[in-house]
Amino acid sequence: MSILIDKNIKVLVQGLTGKEGLFHTEQMINFGTTIVGGITPGKGGKKCLGIPIFNTIEEAMNSTGGNVSVIFVPYAFATDAILESIYANIQIIVCITEGIPVSDMIRVKHFLKNKKSHFIGPNCPGIISPEESKVGIMPNSVFKKKGNIGIISRSGTLTYEAADQIVKWGYGISTAIGIGGDSIIGMNIKEIMKLFLDDSETECIVMIGEIGGQLEIDAAEWIKKLKNKKPVVGFIAGKTAPKGRTMGHAGAIIEKKIETAQEKMKIMEKSGIHIVKSPADIGKSVYEILH
């Protein structure tokens, strides 16, 4: 079973008429996702790829019944697009846009409190469930096989690598979620881990983290306290990163010793997580645990 999304979702694309929005909307449609509308202020009433375009998210929801939003809006306008979707009570909001200021994300996190929306991102590849739906930019070719392995990742490319390794070892993916690598994001590792633990068809979880922050540590310490667990395979990218230098993502910067890859992996291992030292070993580790 998938988490957060399934084949019944109705997706609205904020920024569909832009270059990135247009390309990835086609890819989502090819994967089997139901796209019911696009939002581009000033272009309401037009059609793109045969999909109706609306001026506002509220108008699009009322006309189409859309309940999921994916955002391809340029960073200067992305915060308003996120807030608009939260205000409209969109169930799942996925923001692909990178470069959103930290101050804006603080506003978004505050606005999310006591709201119904689940927010993924920003600066993330999105969510994908084979044979169900895709909301985001993950490559269709890698995620062909539905199965019982869930993936949570701060890295886009390592998400794809992990899925490829898992499939090569004979397993498939239930859902893969790229949460984004910025310092302030929507749903965190622990929150998504809970959803996978409640999913009856997900038997094993792969957690791909990075240097910087404590999301992986918080999740590991929470897992350690659980009585009913599922096996978790963990990998932390950035073992050779120098202290104080941003590596790739805005959130991938070591400020304390505990935020290094080595320290995170020690804590995760003590919490019962199966640690792999290379992403190339993820599929093998999953096989050895479940075989």
Q: Encode pLDDT of 69-110 as tens digits.
A: 999 999 999 999 999 999 999 999 999 999 999 999 999 999
User: Which residue in 24, 118, 249, 274 is the catalytic one?
Assistant: 249
- C-alpha to C-alpha distance for 143 and 129, rounded to whole angstroms: 8
- Asked if CATH classification 3.40.50.261 holds for the domain at 141-291, the reply, yes or no, is yes
Q: Is 32 left (phi over 0), alpha (psi -120 to 50) or beta?
A: left
Q: Encode pLDDT of 196-214 as tens digits.
A: 999 998 999 999 999 988 9
Average model confidence (pLDDT) across the chain: 93
The topology under which CATH files domain 1-123 is Rossmann fold (3.40.50)
- Does the annotation count 249 as an active-site position? yes
- C-alpha to C-alpha distance for 54 and 37, rounded to whole angstroms: 7
Pick the more confident residue, 271 or 252: 271
Q: What is the pTM of this model?
A: 0.93
What pLDDT, on the 0 to 100 scale, is given for residue 234?
97
**Helix crossing, 57-64 with 75-87: angle to 10°?**
50
Residue in the block written with tokens 């995170």:
264
Order of strands across the sheet with 51-54?
47-48, 51-54, 35-39, 11-14, 68-71, 92-95, 118-120
Average pLDDT over residues 154-167: 95
- C-alpha to C-alpha distance for 46 and 38, rounded to whole angstroms: 10
Given a cut of 60, whether residue 247 has pLDDT beyond it is no
Going from N- to C-terminal start, the domains of the chain cover: 1-123, 141-291
Q: Encode pLDDT of 9-43 as tens digits.
A: 999 999 999 999 999 999 999 999 999 999 999 99
Q: Are the C-beta atoms of residues 60 and 14 closer than 8 Å to each other? A: no
Q: Are the C-beta atoms of residues 254 and 241 closer than 8 Å to each other? A: yes
For residue 128, give Cα distances in angstroms to 35, 131, 136, 178, 244: 14, 9, 8, 9, 33
Burial of 265: CB neighbours in 10 Å, binned 0-12, 13-18, 19+: buried
- Greatest Cα-to-Cα distance within the chain, rounded to the nearest angstrom: 57
- C-alpha to C-alpha distance for 198 and 228, rounded to whole angstroms: 10
DSSP bridge pairs for 129: 133
Domains 1-123 and 141-291 share a fold: yes
